[in-house]
Amino acid sequence: MAESGYLDQYLHELPPSTRNVTSAAMAVARLSELDWAPRGGYPGSDVLWPVRCLLCGWEGLRFYSHLRRARPKGRHAGCVPASEIADRLDQLRQGLTGTCPCEQPHAVTAEAFQETALLLGSAHADEAWDQALALAESLMGSCPAAGRRGRAAQRAFPRT
């Protein structure tokens, strides 16, 4: 597998630095909490990100820096009425858990996140692309415990 773009499904054109991986994990967690789904890798907070609205299926571009704030009153043109958003979000959120039921476990503790992020950096430096991709999945892949993983990322690599 070639280096070029091997991580684009998780980090769109960003190197797998500890900061980028941590930011991406927290971003995926926040999208899950707000019932958005990424349609591509994390591009950075002030770059348009292709997303899908889990309330109605709309697909488009949003800035993550806008999505990470408190819930907006409206989501996008044509979405469910603002009066229904809170109830719909609560219904969807019932599927999120603090436990990772996935066949390949995700890093949901600060210790596991830190260890996996460091291994990802090493695998990338060693050009071990398949290993790096598997480690990236553990840190940024879709999981019902994405919120817990995002909090683990924050504890593993706090911003100073």
7 domain residue, yes or no? no
Please write the tens of the pLDDT for every residue from 90-141.
Answer: 777 666 667 899 998 999 999 999 999 999 999 999 999 999 999 999 999 8
CB 89 within 8 A of CB 34: yes
Using CA atoms in the order 90, 92, 97, 100, what is the torsion angle rounded to 10 degrees?
-170
117 domain residue, yes or no? yes
Confidence of residue 71 (pLDDT cuts 50, 70, 90): low
Please write the tens of the pLDDT for every residue from 21-62.
Answer: 999 998 888 888 788 899 999 998 889 999 999 889 999 998
111 domain residue, yes or no? yes
- Total of domains in the chain: 1
Domain of 56, in residue numbers: 18-156
Whole-structure pTM value: 0.82
Question: Which of 33, 66, 35 is closest to 49 using CA atoms?
Answer: 66
